[in-house]
Amino acid sequence: MTALAWVGASLVALGVPFFLLGTLGLLRFPDVFTRLHALAKADNVGLGLVCFGLGLHSGSLAHALKLALIWLLMVIASAVGAGLVARAAIARGVKPWGV
Minimum CB–partner distance for residue 85 and another protein (Å): 5
Rounded CA gap, 23 and 74, in Å?
17
Does 4 contact another protein by CB under 8 A? no
Of residues 25-84, which lie at the interface with another protein (CB under 8 A)?
25-48, 50-51, 54, 57-58, 60, 62-63, 65-67, 69-70, 73-84
Rounded CA gap, 26 and 24, in Å?
5
Minimum CB–partner distance for residue 89 and another protein (Å): 5
Minimum CB–partner distance for residue 3 and another protein (Å): 13
Burial class (CB in 10 A: 0-12, 13-18, 19+), 14: middle
